[in-house]
Amino acid sequence: MELSLESAFSTGGLVGHLAYILLILSIIMRNIVWLRIFMIVSSLVAIAYALIWLSDPVSSFWETLMVTVNVVQLLIIWRENSRARFTAVERDFAARRLRGLATGEQRRILNMGTWETLEDGTVLTENGVHPPALIYIAEGTVDVMIDGRQIATCGPGDYVGEMSLVGGAPASADTRVRGAALVWRLPAAAIDDLDRRKPAWLAVIEAGIARNIRRKLIAANAAQLA
């Protein structure tokens, strides 16, 4: 097909445009499942374009290979998702802080950390010291203190030590468990590993941290106005 204004807007030309539009849409998909689905549809349209209008077996071969690869990857994702199992606490955590990831990816992140039941008075962070882990509070209350004075509390759904691990600065306050608490710890080494190997997963964790920080700021402002 020769390139001209007429050919660009012919039926074949429009089919070719559609293939690339779908490819662009796949790139901007944040969900990996939808990304692969759009890539498959894009390649199928491209195969029709290559065979019917271009008579190009080379392009159709590579597009067919692209479809095959993405179908295999979708089957792997489906297998991981179907095998993933969550407790009620883990399901709540994933819904709050791991939005945008496939079920299997959420399970793999959770496996990188550990669930712990902490006793009253357990120290989570110390002022001026880099915390060894990012901590998510599933149950219980954590007091935030500076120079022995309580300035805030954290509860279910909150992170502790998030600013230090994301920003790199030492903790700006002491935090201690009041009563008992169920928490999930993600070691700093695991976060570094995510940064190197799975930056998209770390971006989801950071997005959850950002939402949590926003909630804490709103609560702090409301407390000052009360």
Per-residue pLDDT of the chain (226 residues; tens, 9 = 90+): 445 555 566 888 889 999 999 999 999 987 888 999 999 999 999 999 999 999 999 999 999 999 999 999 999 999 998 999 999 999 999 999 998 888 999 999 999 999 999 999 999 999 999 999 999 999 999 999 999 899 899 999 999 998 887 777 889 899 999 999 999 999 999 999 999 999 989 999 999 999 998 888 887 777 676 6
What are the phi and psi torsion angles at 126 (to 5°)?
Answer: -125, 135
Closest CA to 37 of 75, 94, 9: 75
CB atoms within 10 A of CB 94: 20
Name the residue among 206, 188, 175 with its Cα closest to residue 132.
Answer: 188
Q: Give the CA distances from residue 74 to residues 6, 23, 28, 52, 94, in Å, rounded to whole numbers and listed in that order.
A: 38, 17, 18, 28, 21
Q: What is the pLDDT of residue 209?
A: 92
Which residue bears the tokens 């971006």? 203
Specify the 3-state DSSP secondary structure of 113. Answer: coil
The β-bridge partners of 111 are none
Q: How many CA atoms lie within 13 A of 69 on its CB side?
A: 9
Which tokens hold the place of 169? 């600065």
